[in-house]
Structure 1
Amino acid sequence: MKLYGIKNCDTVRKAKKWLEANNIEHTFVDFRVDGLTQADIEAWLEHTSWETLFNKRSTSFRGLTDEQKADIDQAKAIALMLEHPTLIKRPVLAMADGVMVGFKEADYQGALL
């Protein structure tokens, strides 16, 4: 199980703390430091939609040009997320049988305990 995010994100910290408190073994991947591949994103998209993964409410999204924001489809979203990993809604918890995007304690509890 891998938890993807950035270390200074409050939501990622909450998810990490919850996993540790519940003794759930995981590896943390900081995609700013460790990087991210197209294969990672495509694997997540087998279990969730690009619309769920792509954070249009982020500061990073607001910083994009109008041209970059226009006509976003899955291919363009993947390219933008690779170029600007902070466009990814955090955290992403990748498990053997799926992914969870974002952190809600009740969702984690239901899926992992």
Structure 2
Amino acid sequence: MLFIEYPKCSTCQKAKKFLVSHAVDFTDRHIVEETPTANELKEWIERSGLPIKRFFNTSGNVYKEMNLKEKVDQLTMEEACELLSLNGMLIKRPLLITEDAILVGFKETEYEMIVK
């Protein structure tokens, strides 16, 4: 499993604590220092079956500063992935990438289904 986080994010900290407390083996990756590439994001978005907008950190300052609320729904998959890959703070976090699932954000019930 690949766990992509921003260590100062409280939601990421809760998700990581959950994984550690359930003895889940995962690789940790800092979302800003090692921002996912456009190709990685495209693959994850397609595999997840989720709308592109779910991968944007809509409550983040960068999202608001770039006025993306008005633009995000008009972006193509390629444009969205390219934009997300330019700044890790635009990406909704944490991301948990497994063989079978892509989880965006932290919902304990979703994580529980993964660790079983």
TM-score (norm 1): 0.86
Name which of structure 1's ranges 25-34 and 57-66 shifts more when overlaid on structure 2. Answer: 57-66
Quick one: which of 104, 108, 111 aligns to 2:111? Answer: 108
Alpha-carbon separation, structure 2, partners of 1:31 and 1:69: 24
2:20 equivalent in structure 1: 20
Alpha-carbon separation, structure 2, partners of 1:85 and 1:34: 8
Query: Does the aligned pair in 2 maintain the 1:61–1:87 contact within 8 Å?
Result: yes
User: Any idea what the Cα deviations from partners look like across 1:48-81, whole Å, max 9, x if unmatched?
Assistant: 2312112223211001157x95333322221211
Alpha-carbon separation, structure 1, partners of 2:82 and 2:10: 25
Query: In proportion to residue count, which structure has more helix?
Result: 2
Write the mapping of 1:1-113 to structure 2, written as runs, cut at 5 A.
Answer: 1-48=1-48, 49-65=51-67, 69-70=70-71, 71-113=74-116
Deviation at 1:99, TM superposition (A): 0.5
Instruction: Give the match's secondary structure for 2:46.
Output: coil
RMSD: 1.9
Query: Does the aligned pair in 1 maintain the 2:42–2:77 contact within 8 Å?
Result: no
How many residues are paired up? Answer: 112
Percent identity (aligned): 26
